[in-house]
A and B are shown apart, each in its own frame.
Chain A
Amino acid sequence: MRSFFISLQSEFYKSRKTLAFWAAIIVPVVICGLIAFGYYTSSEKILKYNYPGMMLWFQYSSAALGVMGMLILPFYVMFMAFSVNNIEHKNDTWKTLFSQPLNKFSIYSAKYFYALMLLFICTILFPLLTYVSGYLLQTLVPKYTFKDYDPAIILTRFYGKLFLASLGILSIQFVLSLIWSDFLKPMGIGFIGVIAGIITANVGWKHAYLIPYSAPTLALRAASGTKNARPEDLPIFTQEIGVSLACAAVLFVAGYFILSKRNIK
C-alpha cells in the first residue's frame, strides 16, 4: 500500500507541469466559461423562451454536456491515457521506474489510478462549474429562473454516469498507450473507436452498447430522452455502463499481466 501512495505521489509530482494534467482543469473552465459568457451576453434572447427553472438548468447544462460527452471527453481520455504513459516512453524511464524497490503492481496501479483521478477531476469540475456559474448568472441577470430549481441531483447523475461511461475507453487507451510508445497507434485506434462509437450509437444499432467507445454517447442519449420523464430518474447502471465497467476491470488486470511478463527494454 505504501508503494502505491508513493508511486501516486510521484505520478502527480512529475506530471504536474504537463498539458495532460492542466487540460483536466483548463478544458472544463474554458468550456463552462464560454457557455456562461454566452448566457450572460445573450440573456435577452434566452429570457424570451421563458424557461421554468428546471428547463433552464437543463438547457444550460446540456450545452456543456453535449460537446463534452460526444467529443471532448473521449479525446481528452485518449490524450491523457497516452500522456501518462508517454512520459515514461519518451524519457526512456520505464527502466528506472521498475528498478526502484517498489512493488510492480503498485507502480502500475498508481499510474492507472492517476489517469482515473485526472478523468475524475475533469468530470467533476464540469458539474461544479455549471452549478456555480448558474447561480452567478442568476445574480448578474436577476430575471433568470436558475434560483427556482436545484440542479445538484441531475448534474451529479449525468456527470457521474458520463464518468462511468468513460472508464471503458480510458482502460483501452491506457493499455494501448502502455504497449506502444508511438502516438499514432493508440490515437489511430482510439479515433476510429470514437467515430465508430458515435455512429453506431446514433444509428441506434441494437448492439452498440457492446462497443465501449459508444458508451458516453449512449449514456447521454438516455439523458436527452428524459425530457418528459423526470431527469432525476435517469437510470445509471444501464447496459452500456455495465460493458464499460467490465471492460475497465478486464483491461486493468490484462495491462498488469502484459507489463509484468514483458521485458523492460
Chain B
Amino acid sequence: MKNYVIIGGSVASVGCIEGIRSADKEGKIIMLCKEKVPAYCRPLISYYLQKKTDFQKMKYRSDKFYQENNVELIYEECKKIDTSNKSVYTEKGIYPYDKLCIATGSSPFVPHFKGIEKIKNKFCFMTQDDALSLEKTIDKNSDVLIIGAGLIGLKCAEGLTGRVKSITICDLSTRILSSILDEESAKLMQKNLEKNGIKFLLGDSVSEFNNDSATMLSGKQIRFDILVTAVGVKPNIDIASDASIETEKGIIVDNNMLTSVPDIYSAGDCAQGYNMSSDTKSIIAIWPNAYMQGYCAGVNMAGQIKEFDNAIPMNAIGFFGLHALTAGIYKGKVYKEKSENAIKKLFFEDGKLVGYILIGNIENAGIYTSVIREKIPLSSLNSNILKKQPSLAVFNEKNRRKKLGGVV
C-alpha cells in the first residue's frame, strides 16, 4: 500500500486526491494544511463580503469528502522536505511518503512602503480569515484604500461596495486588470466599476504613509481608515527550493506534474508547468488549472499515466453584472466588434484562433476556448460563424454529429 502525502489543502490538493482515488482506492493519503479549515472556495471570499454566500456554502467539497476518500487531514505546516529519506517534516511530526505532491499555492506579495508598519488596519485579501478580519473592521464610515487594480483588488472592492463609505484603488499600471485585458477592454470594465462608486488612481501608487493618509507618487494625498494591499502574489516554493527541487518563479514540472526529483509532484499556483499559449513553462494561477494539474499529478502518483499538456491562461471575471471572459494569448490578427457595453476581440495566428476577449455578450465562450485548446485549424471550421457568434455550427457536420450524437 502506497503512502501519499500532499502539502497544502486547497483546490490543487483536492484535485490530487480525486486523481489518486481514480486509480488507487487503497493507499493512505495524508494532507497537510497550514490554513486550519478544509478546502474552501477561495475566489468566493468577495462574494462572502457581498453576503451572496457563507462559509458553509463555500466549502469546496462535502463534509464527508475526506472520510469517504480515506484522507487524513492534518492542520500542520510543512517545514521541510527530506528527499533522501522521503519524509516531510512539520513542527509536530514526520510523515514518510512514497509519492509527494507540493500544492502550497501562493501568498500575498506586500512590497515595502515607507510608513506602512505604523498602519493598524491593513489587510491582504487571500483567505477566509482575511475576509473575516476585514469584515470585523469596516463600517459604514470607512474610507478604504486598495493598492492593486488586479483581480484580487477589484474583487475586494466589489465585496466592500455598499458596506463602507468610499473605496479608492490605485495601481502603477495605467489600466485595470493589466494582465488580463488590453487598454480598450480595461476601460470598459473600469467605467462600470466607476459607475458603481469605485474611484481609481491609475499610473500612480503610494510613495509613503503617514498614519491615516497616503502621499501618492503624483503628490496627491489620500486619507483612509483601512488599507488593503493586493499588488500580487508570490508562489510558496521555499520548502521545494530548500530541498533542491528545481524552481524558477514556481516549481518546475513536466506534463505529468513531476518535479525535477523522482516521486515528487507539484500542482496549482506554486507550480510552473507548460503553458500552451506562450509555449513556455509559466505559472497559470487560476482555479481550473490548479484542479486539473492536481488531478493529473494524482493519477500519475497512483501509477497510471496522464498528461496535461494544453493548459492556457483563461479567466471569467465579472463586476456588478458586467462579465469579461478571456483566454489564450493576444497576438496576431485581430477581429473586433465593439458597442457601448460590449467588446469582442478574437486573435488569430498561423491559421488558428489563439486568444479572445469577450465583454458583455459572453454566450458560448467555451466554444472559443475549446477551439484554442484543441488547436483546431480555421481551415476545418466555418470561420465566418466563428467570428459572428460561437456555436456548434462552426464545426463541420461530421464533427458536430459526433458531439451531439456520441458519448463525449
Please say whether chains A and B are actual partners in one complex.
no
Residues of B at the A interface (CB closer than 8 Å) are none
Chain A residues in the interface with B (C-beta under 8 A): none
